[in-house]
Amino acid sequence: MLKFPGFLIAAVLILSGCAGTEESQSTDELQEVTVKSEGDEILAETADFEKAEIRYEEDTGLMQLEMYMKDQQMMEEMFGERMGQEIHFYYGDELISSPNLLVPIEGESFTLAGDFDEETAEQIVEAIAQQAEEDQE
């Protein structure tokens, strides 16, 4: 049986949100990744992320996105200031997850789980990678 640190499990559970029921973006054009507060304030956009990776929970097969922000302090402030609140993750106009933050998120990345499909997850990874590449040029 695999053992995971308690904080890792807590972070995954906390960031497991309800996802929108809209159909996936079915366009070849990559969309903006946006994080918004309960009051619809934009907290982060595609350019704020360094990279994203698709991961699968071994026990359940649940697909997750491991999200890395460029500015760790920005990430800690974004999450820390919103304890007990929902934050909303969008890909284009599609709500992909609305986790309720119950514990502080620290470290270089966070795990985002939701009811998004593999195609949407791949598009998010690609959108962030493309933006990061453009930022380096």
CATH of the domain at 105: 3.30.1360.200
Which residue range forms the structural domain that includes residue 131? Answer: 12-19+30-136
Answer yes or no: is 86 within a domain.
Answer: yes
Answer yes or no: is 69 within a domain.
Answer: yes
Answer yes or no: is 117 within a domain.
Answer: yes
Residues 122, 137: Cα–Cα separation, whole Å: 23
pTM of the model: 0.75
Residue of 14 and 62 predicted with greater confidence: 62
Identify the CA nearest to 43 among candidates 73, 84, 75, 66: 75
Q: What's residue 3's pLDDT? A: 45
Task: Label residue 13 by pLDDT band (50, 70, 90).
Answer: very low
Residue pair 101/84 in contact (Cβ under 8 Å)? The answer is: yes
Answer yes or no: is 5 within a domain.
Answer: no
Give me the mean pLDDT over the 7-36 stretch. 57
Which residues, in sequence order, are CB contacts of 81 under 8 Å at separation 6+?
none
CB burial of residue 62 (10 Å; 0-12, 13-18, 19+): middle
Answer yes or no: is 66 within a domain.
Answer: yes
Q: What's residue 28's pLDDT? A: 64
Q: Please check the confidence at residue 14 and state whether its pLDDT lies above 70.
A: no
Answer yes or no: is 50 within a domain.
Answer: yes
Task: Label residue 98 by pLDDT band (50, 70, 90).
Answer: very high
Q: Total domain count for the chain?
A: 1
